[in-house]
Structure 1
Amino acid sequence: MRVLAICGSLRAASLNRKLLRVAAEVAPEGMAVEEAPIGGIPIFDEDIEAKGLPDSVAGLRERCFAADALLFVTPEYNYGVPGGLKNAVDWLSRRVEGKQPFAGKPCAMMGASGGMGGTIRAQLQLRQSLQLLGALTMPGPEVFVTQANGRFDADGNLTDAPTRAAVEKLMAAFGQWIARMKG
């Protein structure tokens, strides 16, 4: 089972990229989690699209279509989805030859933030967009890592046992969700 993970933070040492690595570590047997970077994607522009998809977008689309499922790991910026992630979703949502990669694709999400609310609002916005696009978004469990700065050590390792357990629970449920949606 191939899961393509998309991190909404562009920063190499982001809390969400660290959380994504934990998800890959605790993924159930038979599930491979691979990150797809979104940093090189240009801002969506129909004039650019009319000339053909940029290579960065075309490559991401191919990887999304090839994956069995998508895992989104997102921070929350100003009560919402980060611009880079929203931009990637906007590019991917475009129909090429009548197809877009979210339709019928099992998806899950989680996120980490330094604040008290975790990424509740960002995940809600992302969930709404994905549902509109026909993604099969897993209803739960949900992972909203609050005060995430204190949950990782200086080397980026998750040190908080309850957070690790929550990610393990999400990934186990995601494996079941994918099997059920693909079955």
Structure 2
Amino acid sequence: MFSVFTSCAQEKRAIKGETEFQKEMNADYKDASKSPLKDKDRKNFKGLDFFKFDSTYVVKAVLKRTPNSKWFNMKTTTSRVSKERVYGILHFELNGNSFNLEIYQGKDLMKKEGYENYLFLPFLDETNGLESYGGGRYIDARIPEGNTMEIDFNKAYNPYCAYNDKYSCPIVPRKNYLKTRVEAGVKAFGKH
């Protein structure tokens, strides 16, 4: 008797994404050990929807540090609060208009190895609730050497709460609302 063994039915599909950031996110969301997705969503996961990469949404910002800012309790989607402080105000131009956003530093996170210089940039814009998640999006950043920072809105991602209500996610402060459409980064989950 002769048998032919073929590889498992589970083929390795190429990770979708047009940029390194998009490929990394899709790989993480596919990986059960890292993914915020519910099991049923991860089973059929082919990749997140992103706006097309657009260099218009990579902006140089001037960082005005706020060294004596007080720690405050940033509300989250649960009863948990996140101890944050305004690290500084970012001033930048986007779509021909001037904007500013507060960028935050987390008290607990700055004590965690590898996150000592981590900054958190949550924002809302005019795509929320339409093409992007209604609760706003986040960008990760690091404390810069000087007083300028690059903000790459193409790296904007949804809070884990957008995928699974078991997470507790910081709520974007209203003052970080951009009165413009930011057509960059991750789109809303499950809308096609």
- TM-score, length of structure 1 as denominator length: 0.21
Higher CA-based Rg: 2
- TM-score, length of structure 2 as denominator length: 0.21
Which protein has the bigger helix share? 1
Which protein has the bigger strand share? 2
